[in-house]
Amino acid sequence: MALAVGLAMLAAPLLGRSARPGSSTLAAQSVDPRIEAMLEDVSPDRLHEYLETLTGFETRHSLSFSDRDDFGVLPARQYILETMRGFSDRLQVSLDCYLVEPQGRITEEAELCNVVAVLPGRSDRRIYVSGHYDTVAQVEGEGFDWSRHDNPAPGANDDGSGTVLTMEAARVLAQSGLDFDATLVFVGFVAEEEGLVGASLHAAKAEREGWTIDAVFNNDIIGNSLGGNGIVDSRTLRVFSEDPMDSPSRQLARFIRRYGAAYMPGHEVRLVAREDRFGRGGDHTAFNRRGFAGVRFSESRENYSRQHMPADTLGGVDFDYLAKNTRVNVAGVATMALAPAAPNVNGGGGPMLGRGESGYDAAMRWRPSPGAAGYRLVWRTAWTPDWEHELLVGNVTEYTLPDISIDDYVFGVAALGPDGHESLVSAFVRPPRGRSDVREVGR
């Protein structure tokens, strides 16, 4: 199925020396009817059903171990496990467990388990969708007591909302019948409230075992449209991403906004240029610290009186809004998973970007992406946060933009598959230079 971008455009002849700054502006993105069908399949009623069950366990504190089958973290994680196993035979669902000794907010030795569902793709590169299923709540007026594991902590929005979004995304993508290039991984992380423990252990395993993780779509506090200040916003959501401006995290955020606008034009993705809300953190941070691209999705208007409190109940979640945020996740994940891997723009000595034969052009080279049918160049002035210009250049691995200074612009390239699905942008940026200390004579 060819999208409107078309193989004819992807295979178009090079435009020679005709491109100039301002000659190309960002185009509206075409949509794939198969992805649109997945978005229609996202169900607010199913989201409600999952979350009603999760909040019924009273608490999902990471250490709320009990013999009861209706209370605490153990039956909660079992419910997530069994529910996702029921979505499709294609999903490989298991517990990802670690024995953790007492430390920090973890007051006793405990086996802590993430719930992981893997939808194998044609390649080993991975795209994650995640939320944390554990909860915590303080006793009103008394603050936190980390040794208390039985406080009422329904955690409907923090982060039951992100957990059920992850579950519904797993169902929709697994039942789509599509053959994805990337392997999709859906995770309910444990012990986020104790310091990103489950995500940190999983990210460390990924680094040790050499996994290729292209993106982590982490969802945390994502289902409330009524802010604590009384402002209602069900038309936008926030995506937080890490510095610097052309980090892998920032490229992922730009990609999400681009395809969120294509598939959900009435639901704005607001990009926030910081790793998380001020002074706070989430599980995506554990992946960014290991060199993987992660972002955090969060609602636009928070109600702090419902966070880490017994008042974080089902009534504080807007399921139509949560469904919209689920669709933004699914659109981005599906597009990226159907696309080739992002091009490699680095040679032995850094990015393959030069001044061309004239000395005044922008000459770019990149390594081919398996399965790519063409490439899209993007560029912007170096003081601008988002791409301003783009150019489809066909199935080539080098291109020169004439009379465009590599000092004044930032450049990137994305790979396009035969159906027009697009990878993340790989930016031509230099790594930070090391410090050079000059010693004085006699010192």
Q: What angle do CA 126, 128, 133 make, to 5 degrees?
A: 145
Residue 133: pLDDT band (50, 70, 90) is very high
398 vs 278, more confident: 398
pLDDT reported for residue 11: 37
List the CATH code of the domain at 7-30+341-427: 2.60.40.10
Least confident of 26-30, 103-107, 192-196: 26-30
Residue 27: pLDDT band (50, 70, 90) is low
Contact 59, 156 (CB under 8 A): no
Residue 342's contacts (CB-CB under 8 Å, 6 or more residues apart) are 214, 369, 414, 415, 423, 424, 425, 426
**pLDDT(424) > 50:** yes
pLDDT reported for residue 442: 67
Kindly report the pTM of this predicted structure. 0.93
Mean pLDDT of 19-27: 49
| Long-range Cβ contact pairs of 147-151 (< 8 A, separation 24 or more) | 147/107, 149/59, 149/61, 149/63, 149/64, 149/65, 149/72, 150/59, 150/61, 150/64, 150/72, 151/59, 151/61, 151/310
Residue 443: pLDDT band (50, 70, 90) is low
Digit-coded pLDDT (tens) for 51-67: 999 999 999 999 999 99
Mean pLDDT of 193-204: 97
% of the chain at pLDDT higher than 70: 93
Mean pLDDT of 188-194: 97
Digit-coded pLDDT (tens) for 380-410: 999 999 999 999 999 999 999 999 999 999 9
Read out DSSP for 268-330?
Answer: EEEEESSSSSTT---THHHHHTTT--EEEEEESS--GGGTTSTT--GGG--HHHHHHHHHHHH
Digit-coded pLDDT (tens) for 167-187: 999 999 999 999 999 999 999
Digit-coded pLDDT (tens) for 204-258: 999 999 999 999 999 999 999 999 999 999 999 999 999 999 999 999 999 999 9
List the CATH code of the domain at 33-338: 3.40.630.10
Residue 116: pLDDT band (50, 70, 90) is very high
| Domain segments of the chain as ranges | 7-30+341-427, 33-338
Average pLDDT, the chain: 92
Digit-coded pLDDT (tens) for 1-14: 334 334 333 433 33
